[in-house]
Amino acid sequence: MKEKIDFLAATLPYSVLPDQVLEELANLVEEVDFPENTRLFDEGNHKVKGVHIIVKGSFETFFLDSQQAKRKVETYGPKTTCGGISILFNKKKPIKTVVAQAGTKAFLLPRKIFKAICAEYEEFFDFFANDFGKRMLDDEYAHFYKTNGSLEDNYLVVDQLYSSKIRSIGYRQIIYCNKNTPIFEAAIKMAENKTSCLFVRDEQEQYAGFVTDITLRDRVIAGLIDPKLPIINVMDDKIISISTNAYVYEAILLMFSSKSRYLLIEDEGKFIGFLSRNRLLSEQTKSPLVFIQSVKSATSNEELKVKWQKVPSIVAQLLDRGVHAEIVNEVVTTIADTISNKIIEDVIRKLGPPPAKFVFMVLGSEGRKELSLKTDQDNAIIYEDTPEDQRAMVRSYFLDFATQVSDKLNYVGFVYCDGDYMATNPNWTHSLSHWKYNYKNWIEEALPEAAVKFAAFFDCRAIYGDAEIMNDLRHFVDDELKRPIEKFYVYLAKNALLYEPPLTYFRNIKTQKIESREVFDIKTAMTPIVDLVRVYALQNRIFQKENTGERLRALKD
């Protein structure tokens, strides 16, 4: 028994599990020997009964093409697990053919137990989700994976994703404690209820935060925190919720945009349960939103570049199924934001922690979440005001930071802005007080040329950093818009009317020839609509609504 426990404790991802779980697993796994070459599975046939954890020897896995030739041959050696991806992401059917080589010995962990561990321990589940995401980056692997599943099944999943509401899927009961509960008691409660997430309530019985098993490991054990301290000392206080009337795709996008793994489910003003990101994604394995999870798993700029190049095919799939263009835009925007966040975090790791709080904001179409597939960079940086003796150092850091981020974005596919509306331009990386001066000047000292140059700065959105800085700026701009500033609106409106409709003399749509193809520039055609809606949004002080569609709906109301 001890040998089994020691083996599992030294094998990923089982090594992340608590000791008592490893002891239980050691009792549950079945020892299997393969004295001869044995064909365990044929791709797509039967169901995988469990995962094989190889002790010695090896498994050979492969796809068979139309000529019955082996493709994507891989060898699984000792301390590797075979079958996890098939169970989690292929409806329990083998993705590849698996042959155990003679002399191989493995532990067989039953499927039901494996899935239960995945449901309870996120880090364990993430190991297989990340592995699957990386494999799907390989075009040949992705081709055979999609071929094994019928096209109708793929489309059905996509249709359900955009038509199903939260109320139609299962969610977990909320397990909670009060904020003064000692950490060790909270951990006991999590163990008793077999949950990886425990919510925390305050004196008013409002949800104030939550803790996870990862919180306990990273903050309590690794941080040598006294387990008798109140749980409030280590909890995450970012509570995100969603209505039972929201769609499943909205929940997934909200989780990615808010960087939250858990959502509280609200019904008629009451919280009735919670959802985990892993739960949603494991049920949507063929949906394009799993692609976003694999972006988060990318480990290099090269991988991010390949990811962005795959986005047009995802868009085509969604549009072919009649998914609303606004939803498609949300998917594209979330992918772009995820890529940008990966790059920003990578640069921060290289440069060291920022010397001041800041936000990295995007402008124009990206700021409105109306990103096209062929887009350039429009971004800026706002950092908090700092003492005078630190200003030069802080500014130098953020300009260097901006250059590295911009270069990496350009490499991935977000090309440099011809108009230089990027954080690399010293004009667009400044302190909060300087940005307030900029907006005040644009509004109060309105000039015709300024309306053209700076309109995009009224379509801004923070994608990384301290949200309070952006909120502070928005409140300031809102106060400025209360003043009598008719000249400002006049120039913005005149700028919008400069664009001519793309129509010919006979009222046909005007096209242009690129190489041998006639194309229609829809972005330019939409510009006067976007610009005029922006004018009315500012005039009615609802510019905080980021998207043109959202602004139109708010104006209508």
User: Which carries the bigger pLDDT value, residue 84 or residue 1?
Assistant: 84
Say if residue 159's pLDDT is above 60: no
Say if residue 511's pLDDT is above 90: no
Considering the domain 331-556 in this protein, what is its CATH number?
A: 3.30.460
Average pLDDT over residues 537-550: 85
pLDDT band, very low/low/confident/very high, at 181 (cuts 50, 70, 90): very high
Average pLDDT over residues 22-36: 89
Length reported for the chain: 557
Q: What is the pLDDT, as a whole number, of residue 163?
A: 63
What pLDDT digit, counting tens, does each position of 315-355 carry? 887 777 667 788 888 889 989 999 999 999 999 999 999 99
Backbone angles phi, psi at 518, to 5 degrees: -85, 125
Q: What is the pLDDT, as a whole number, of residue 299?
A: 80
Cis status of the peptide bond prior to 13, with omega within 30 of 0: yes
Question: H or E element: which one contains 265?
Answer: strand 262-267
Average pLDDT over residues 306-323: 81
Contact 201, 176 (CB under 8 A): yes
Average pLDDT over residues 390-405: 97
What pLDDT digit, counting tens, does each position of 42-63 carry? 877 778 889 999 999 999 999 8
User: Which carries the bigger pLDDT value, residue 409 or residue 365?
Assistant: 409
User: Which carries the bigger pLDDT value, residue 150 or residue 88?
Assistant: 88
pLDDT band, very low/low/confident/very high, at 492 (cuts 50, 70, 90): confident
Percent of the chain with pLDDT over 70: 91
CA distance 133 to 453: 41
What pLDDT digit, counting tens, does each position of 458-472 carry? 999 999 999 899 999
Q: Which CATH superfamily is domain 166-282 in?
A: CBS-domain (3.10.580.10)
Average pLDDT over residues 202-209: 91
Say if residue 453's pLDDT is above 90: no
Q: What is the pLDDT, as a whole number, of residue 504?
A: 65
Say if residue 434's pLDDT is above 90: yes
Considering the domain 2-115 in this protein, what is its CATH number?
A: 2.60.120.10
* The pair of three-digit structure tokens given for residue 34, joined into one six-digit string: 């393969």
Q: What is the residue extent of each domain of the chain?
A: 2-115, 166-282, 331-556
Q: What is the pLDDT, as a whole number, of residue 155?
A: 38
DSSP state of 138: S
Tell me which range, 47-51, 133-137, 165-169, 320-324, is most confidently predicted by mean pLDDT. 47-51
Q: What is the pLDDT, as a whole number, of residue 161?
A: 60
CA distance 308 to 338: 11
C-alpha pair distances (Å), 50 with each of 12, 18, 30, 84, 544: 17, 21, 10, 8, 50
Please name the residue ranges forming H helices in 386-485. 391-412, 432-444, 448-454, 467-480
C-alpha pair distances (Å), 86 with each of 56, 91, 264, 359: 22, 7, 29, 41
Q: What is the pLDDT, as a whole number, of residue 123?
A: 80
What pLDDT digit, counting tens, does each position of 94-125 carry? 888 899 998 899 999 998 889 888 877 878 88
Count CB-CB contacts under 10 A for residue 435: 24
Count CB-CB contacts under 10 A for residue 321: 14
Contact 201, 177 (CB under 8 A): yes
Average per-residue pLDDT for the chain = 85
Q: What is the pLDDT, as a whole number, of residue 297?
A: 75
Average pLDDT over residues 228-234: 94
